[in-house]
């Protein structure tokens, strides 16, 4: 058996640049032609992409299965069945009009890592799984990270009842693509089944690019609080209602939005990382000649510190009671939509990624993820981590999303070497 820890052996493993490029190009073609790049989970384009991916996995020597949560899994058996499984992957679904590399790069790179290891003649100690998680992006059923939620036991019966615009619920959709919703009342994987999980992804921001680094070693994923805010006033005729008698909900909303922006900047400057966004707005009755009587808006807060998240929210609540309720004579209500706590990756995985980048002569930096990923749910099952590569101008979730093939190969190389180091840690 060839030892993966041997540096000469590891350095002999070469990522096939042409193969990676061809797979990225082919996978991106599974899209709605008039709206690239759109490959929504549960659609015909998505099913076609998976059929192609299954063929590619088989050609790489992987054994294929679909689990109850609709995750596509390719496996290469290790030499020691008593050791836990090492896994890598991401997702191939996109947002509407999204980018070519978000998610699919991690799947293609993980497949290339498995194939290059297989072709080199290395016998891994651990079994290696390459996973295409079902619907990481927010689905048409209102739920994101469906596959990794199912795998980690975070997909509830309530979630399975959420419907799309056609009336199909999520459980029915999972069954339609070959999953089994009846088995999703518990985690699909036990905590001692997996040894590690590692995911490659584009950064979706400008930090690595502007820092002139080649690799981002991800330390954690931020927590997210999402609330729906309703500001209620009084709808009146815009021509006959004097200014001093108005209860304009949109005026109150504009002050709320400005406070979110200024307070987030203060928190970022004085307390540490925090961003806050109002990205959705609904005005009623939304007419030119009517004073707005109600505004509904979204409030999203992200930070790597749970206490900081709650402090920001509580500060906004206290401020709005004075400035919106009392001074503007409006009513404001906070309705929680979703809560996710910050997730910190395992030092063992972080160190393996950093060591791999260093051994390959690539510059790297530690970075936090401001976006959610399947790795966040996998971290509840096993030591987990992520690798980021730069994306052009930080553009993501849009057709302009772009990377260089050089950066893709750098990421795939770091992923491959880190997987080998993880394979050797218990041998």
pLDDT band at 30 (very low <50, low <70, confident <90, very high): very high
Domain boundary among 340, 367, 395: 340
Regarding whether 353 and 327 lie in a shared domain, the answer is no
Regarding whether 335 and 350 lie in a shared domain, the answer is no
Domain boundary among 316, 340, 364: 340
What is the Cα Rg of the chain in Å? Answer: 24
Regarding whether 216 and 261 lie in a shared domain, the answer is no
pLDDT tens for 89-117 read: 999 999 999 999 999 999 999 999 999 99
User: Does any domain span residue 115?
Assistant: yes
Higher pLDDT among residues 9 and 253, named by residue: 253
Count of the separate structural domains present in the chain: 2
User: Does any domain span residue 1?
Assistant: no
Range of the domain at 182: 7-222+342-424
Kindly tell me if the per-residue pLDDT of 76 is higher than 70.
yes
Domain boundary among 317, 340, 363: 340
- φ and ψ at 20, to 5 degrees? -60, -45
Both structure tokens of 385 = 């981590």
Here the CATH number for the domain that contains residue 124 is 3.40.630.10
The whole-number average pLDDT for the span 264-273 is 97
Look at strands 128-132 and 72-76 and give their pairing: antiparallel
User: Does any domain span residue 405?
Assistant: yes
pLDDT band at 181 (very low <50, low <70, confident <90, very high): very high
**pLDDT value at position 14?**
87
Could you give the CA distance from residue 344 to residue 384 in angstroms, rounded to a whole number? Answer: 9
Kindly tell me if the per-residue pLDDT of 44 is higher than 60.
yes
Mean pLDDT of the chain: 95
User: Does any domain span residue 72?
Assistant: yes
Regarding whether 76 and 213 lie in a shared domain, the answer is yes
**pLDDT value at position 8?**
60
Question: Structure pTM?
Answer: 0.91
Regarding whether 66 and 177 lie in a shared domain, the answer is yes
Here the CATH number for the domain that contains residue 239 is 3.30.70.360
CB 252 within 8 A of CB 327: no
User: Does any domain span residue 210?
Assistant: yes
Selection from 160, 158, 152 nearest residue 186 by Cα: 152
What percentage of the chain reaches a pLDDT higher than 90? 93
Regarding whether 319 and 186 lie in a shared domain, the answer is no
pLDDT tens for 310-356 read: 999 999 999 999 999 999 999 999 999 888 999 999 999 999 999 99
pLDDT band at 173 (very low <50, low <70, confident <90, very high): very high
Look at strands 281-284 and 294-303 and give their pairing: antiparallel
User: Does any domain span residue 332?
Assistant: yes
Quickly count: other Cβ atoms within 10 Å of residue 427's Cβ.
15
Both structure tokens of 111 = 């497949």
Regarding whether 207 and 275 lie in a shared domain, the answer is no
pLDDT band at 10 (very low <50, low <70, confident <90, very high): low
CB 259 within 8 A of CB 295: no
pLDDT band at 191 (very low <50, low <70, confident <90, very high): confident
């Amino acid at each position: 058996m060839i030892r993966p820890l041997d540096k000469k052996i590891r350095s002999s493993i070469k990522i096939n640049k042409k193969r990676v490029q061809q797979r990225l190009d082919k996978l991106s073609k599974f899209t709605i032609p008039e709206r690239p790049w759109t490959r929504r989970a549960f659609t015909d384009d998505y099913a076609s992409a998976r059929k192609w991916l299954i063929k590619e996995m088989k050609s790489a020597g992987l054994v294929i299965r679909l689990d109850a949560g609709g995750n596509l899994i390719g496996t290469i058996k290790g030499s020691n069945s008593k050791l836990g499984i090492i896994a890598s992957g991401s997702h191939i679904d996109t947002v509407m009009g999204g980018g070519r590399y978000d998610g699919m790069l991690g799947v293609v790179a993980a497949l290339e890592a498995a194939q290059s290891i297989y072709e080199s003649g290395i016998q891994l100690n651990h079994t290696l799984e390459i996973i295409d998680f079902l619907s990481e992006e927010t689905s048409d059923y209102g739920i994101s990270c469906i596959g990794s939620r199912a795998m980690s036991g975070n997909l509830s019966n309530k979630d399975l009842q959420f419907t799309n615009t056609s009336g199909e619920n999520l459980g029915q959709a999972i069954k339609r693509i070959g999953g089994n919703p009846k088995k999703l009342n518990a985690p699909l994987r036990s905590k001692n089944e997996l040894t590690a999980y590692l995911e490659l992804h584009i950064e979706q921001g400008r930090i690595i690019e502007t820092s002139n680094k080649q690799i981002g070693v991800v330390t954690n994923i931020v927590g997210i609080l999402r609330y729906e805010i309703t500001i209620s006033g009084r709808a009146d005729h815009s021509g006959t209602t004097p200014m001093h008698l108005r209860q304009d909900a949109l005026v109150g909303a504009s002050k709320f939005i400005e406070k979110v922006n200024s307070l987030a900047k203060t928190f970022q400057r004085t307390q540490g990382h925090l961003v806050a966004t109002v990205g959705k707005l609904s005005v009623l009755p939304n007419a030119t000649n009517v004073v707005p009587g109600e505004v509904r808006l979204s409030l999203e807060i992200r930070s790597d510190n749970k206490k900081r998240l709650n402090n920001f929210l509580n500060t906004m609540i206290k401020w709005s009671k004075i400035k919106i309720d009392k001074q503007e004579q409006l009513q404001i209500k906070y309705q929680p939509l979703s809560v996710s706590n910050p997730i910190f990756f395992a030092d063992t995985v972080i160190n393996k990624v950093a060591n791999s980048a260093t051994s390959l002569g690539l510059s790297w930096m530690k970075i936090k993820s401001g976006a959610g990923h399947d790795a966040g749910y996998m971290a509840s099952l096993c030591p987990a981590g992520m690798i980021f590569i730069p994306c052009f101008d930080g553009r993501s979730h849009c057709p302009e999303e772009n990377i260089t093939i050089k950066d893709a190969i750098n990421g795939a190389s770091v992923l491959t070497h880190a997987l080998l180091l993880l394979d050797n840690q218990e041998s």
